[in-house]
Amino acid sequence: MAERGSVMKKRIDLNAVPVVTGSSYPAPFDAPCAARARQRLGDAAGLTDFGVNYLRLPAGAWSSQRHWHTAEDEFVFVVEGEVVLITDSGEEILRAGDSCKGNQQYHYASKKLAACSHQFSQPQSQSSPMVNREKDSSRSYP
């Protein structure tokens, strides 16, 4: 606890945040995500309403299996390199500085939001770091 009158540090030291490699998926679904590395910045900051993750995808890695969130939105920002966003609508390349919402899409015919399964992959020969805003919540899989 900080003494009265002192200022607590706000900066999160990325090197001090544990790196979690792989996923909690059972075999064989874990294999495509085995090399992904995630740091839970939101947990390090003490956030409770939403999560923020720093995710690195080495060449050939997936961020996750295709999924959608049932209780929250997800926002992704690509820090460097490029990744492929895979959704129900197809594939789209996101490059450094690009961002997207990964959870829902608007269906013009029915005039309502619908779940849109999504995942990110790194087919290139480089590693691509990205930041996403999500709390581990209820997910659904196709």
Between the CA of residue 114 and those of 22, 46, 106, 111, what are the distances in Å?
29, 31, 6, 10
pLDDT band with cut points at 50, 70 and 90 for residue 1 = very low
Among candidate residues 66, 67, 60, 75, the one with its CA nearest the CA of residue 128? 60
Distance of CA 43 to the CA centre of its chain: 14
Q: Structurally, what CATH architecture does the domain formed by 19-140 represent?
A: Sandwich (2.60)
- Length reported for the chain: 142
The residue that leads in pLDDT, 5 or 120, is 120
The residue extents of the domains of the chain are 19-140
- Read off the pTM: 0.74
Tens digit of pLDDT for each residue in 18-75? 999 999 999 999 999 999 999 999 899 888 888 888 999 888 899 888 887 667 777 8
